[in-house]
Structure 1
Amino acid sequence: MSVPRLRPDTPERAGLEPGLLHRAVADALALTTGERPWAAGLVVAAGRGPVLAVEEASGWAVRYSAYDPRTDAGTELPDGAKVPMTVGTPFDLASLTKLFTAVAAVQQIERGTLGIDAAVGAYLPDFTGAAARGVTVRQLLTHTSGLRPELPLYDCPDVPERLRRLREEVPVGERGAYLYSDLNMLLLQHVLERITGRGLDVLVHEGITRPLGMTATRFGPCPDAAATEDQRRPWAKADRGMVRGIVHDENAWALGGVAGHAGLFSTGRDLAVFCRALLAGGGHGPARILGPDFVDLLLTEPGLGFALDQPWFMGELAGRGAAGHCGFTGTMLVLDRATDTFAVLLANTVHPRRRPFDNAPRAALATGVARAVRAM
């Protein structure tokens, strides 16, 4: 059965109170102004049901040529060299990549080629650290494997050594206890590639983005993407200079740009389609990427890859099973099945360099969407 495709229309047609929604969006767009903005540029997309009620951009995709540690500020490009942000600008999604890895895994669970409670060692016996501790696929998807948050793979001399470190890594935390880790999705990537014989980039393209018509979503390089960080030590973990169109995450970069935890680039419109497909039970138009029961598996407590009911970035959308994730570069995606709403905020908050997290703008946008629903 075909599911209505996402279409641009008015907030009223979406069942959203326009004044409240536009106020929340205006507050987000204003975050790109001033000498030290929250983000150099950003894109907002939000809607309800099959309606994309708002899609707007502000600021700059590229504003700075470098970061100056003496002044703790970015070196401004001449006006003619700056690149304006548009609604079609791709962003480095950072950890939003994990959501696509999770969907790819649940697709294999649905097909019966992957067991959710199977031991990782059954698929990856050469990953001796996880195999020895009996880590399961479910534990990878729920961040309960005990694997540490990350490994400094970027400091290893070559890819074979990086993979050796990953294969031998033994969980350090208590199995069953929540410990958020990029390594979970890196191992899950290797499980998926081993059982299918295809790379994660191919699995995401063939299983998710192509059927949904998400033509702007892909692993890098992505030359027209919003710039991220002037990566230099000591504030970064590698000396790469101003990064644009190549994955920001140092480990994903060290592994070639295709990684289970980071590496995808996308636009606000494409992510709105992704949200719509999940809210509609796994379908969009004539395409279906998951059956409704497996969308439930993905988005029901404790969530597989998706975080659930996190007010620190979901604001007032949290509390009824809202699902989503954030990314280090300044990205956010939230969908709420209780009200059939979604909110996407893409920002290059790390341009020209990373700062302590300020999640208030993410929560404020999600709260604005929640209030726009309640006011109708």
Structure 2
Amino acid sequence: MLTKHLTPRPKHPTYAGAVAVVLRDGRVAAKVAVGHALRYRSGPVELPAARRVGMRTDSIFDLASLTKVYTAILLLQQVEKGTIDLDAPVTRYLPAFTGKGKSRITVRMLLTHTSGLPVGADVKNVLGTPMVAGAVPGSTFRYSSTGLMVAAELVKKATGTRLDVALRNGITGPLGLATTGFNPLTWLPKAEQAKRLVATDARTSRGLLRGVVHDDVAAKLGGVIGSAGIFGTAHEVAVIGQLLLNGGIYNGKRVLAASTVAEMLTNQNAGLPAIDPDRPKRPSDHGLGVTLRQPWFMGRLSSASTFGHTGFTGTSLLVHPGHRLVLALLTNRAHPNWSWSNPDPMRAEVANVLAEQV
């Protein structure tokens, strides 16, 4: 049933390939790979069949904005240690975070997308990025990649390490996630790169992107930022969902306290309006680094407690606590051209299929 709804659309594809992993009660209930990890070369031009690379269940994707979930976990680890206060102004820790109105922005607002910061950051001065004109901190949900980039700066300041090192020390190392990380060309063996890396764009000024971050801001900043840049497999993304579903523990390794996870998965934006030009009817519901109750990608699995996140490259994580269900759905919808399709209907379609089954 799941494979049927993941069939690639060859003439005008929603994606060239996809992998879905479903966990139920912590066990793998489904693991499906369809289509191609590499189907086009720069142009974009379709490759001959012999030169295409089939998708595998262990293929490694550019997770795009799913990175924000990892950044939030790393920041909340520092909150638990007492090095950062969620309700303190960001300027307490980052004096260079300057600009009109920004002294009122708290750490919590960065994770709930209520800071008033814009989607895109000033690449030359992330901390100096100005707020959206007329925005009032704490008053409105407005999706902001800049906010999570600033959150990553807090992590770096508190840990005294680079973000990729903090990720390894705080999440991937303890959980044994060997194929999750920034800049995979630096750690994935060359023999594996050709088999497992999933391509994104094939029409950008940078040419075919495979193993190189798709996000332009991340690319300009070395591939390591708090809002995008992590690569990983569907199974390892599902582990993050299961970790949070378990209250911060996975395979005996505790990454966050249960009370922290409970706060992370609680709607922080009750009563606030949402501004989202792409999805004008979306709810503002958001926890600390995860989005809640979003039918546009959660379909009929959407509920007040359903949480997850999406990524621009076609990735998504969805967790339904009531059903003890985790869905990691990773596609390369940006291969060869992200403007070919809207991935949201497909995400909702897959969620609806699972809703029927559970």
Name the TM-score, length of structure 1 as normaliser. 0.84
Taking every aligned residue pair, what percent have the same amino acid on both sides?
A: 39
| Mapped partners of 1:130, 1:345: distance in 2 | 40
The size of the alignment, in residue pairs, is: 327
Structure 1 residue 371 displacement after superposition: 2.2
| Mapped partners of 1:138, 1:82: distance in 2 | 45
Matches within 5 A, 1:1-376: 23=1, 25-30=2-7, 32-67=8-43, 74-129=44-99, 132-151=102-121, 153=123, 162=124, 164=125, 166-172=126-132, 173-176=135-138, 177-222=140-185, 223=193, 224-232=196-204, 239-302=205-268, 303-355=287-339, 356-373=341-358
Structure number with larger C-alpha Rg = 1
Letter in 2 for 1:228: T
1:49/1:119 CA distance change after superposition, 3 Å: same
Structure 1 residue 367 displacement after superposition: 1.9
Q: CA RMSD in A?
A: 1.5
Name the TM-score, length of structure 2 as normaliser. 0.88
Secondary structure of residue in 1 paired with 2:167: helix
Deviates more, 1:317-326 or 1:214-223: 214-223
| Mapped partners of 1:273, 1:169: distance in 2 | 34
* Runs of 4+ off more than 6 Å: none
Equivalent pair of 1:97/1:264 in contact (CA under 8 Å): yes
Structure 1 residue 86 displacement after superposition: 0.2
Cα-to-partner distance string for 1:278-337 (whole Å, 9 max, x where unaligned): 111111112110111111111111301100010000011111310001100000100111
1:319/1:76 CA distance change after superposition, 3 Å: same
Secondary structure of residue in 2 paired with 1:324: strand
Structure 1 residue 107 displacement after superposition: 0.9
Letter in 2 for 1:361: M
Any gaps of 5 or more consecutive residues in structure 2? 186-192, 269-286
Any gaps of 5 or more consecutive residues in structure 1? 1-22, 68-73, 154-161, 233-238
1:182/1:231 CA distance change after superposition, 3 Å: farther
1:132/1:359 CA distance change after superposition, 3 Å: closer
Structure 1 residue 218 displacement after superposition: 0.7
| Mapped partners of 1:273, 1:358: distance in 2 | 23
| Mapped partners of 1:192, 1:297: distance in 2 | 19
Structure 1 residue 205 displacement after superposition: 1.2
Letter in 2 for 1:367: N
Aligned to 1:235: none
Structure 1 residue 145 displacement after superposition: 0.6
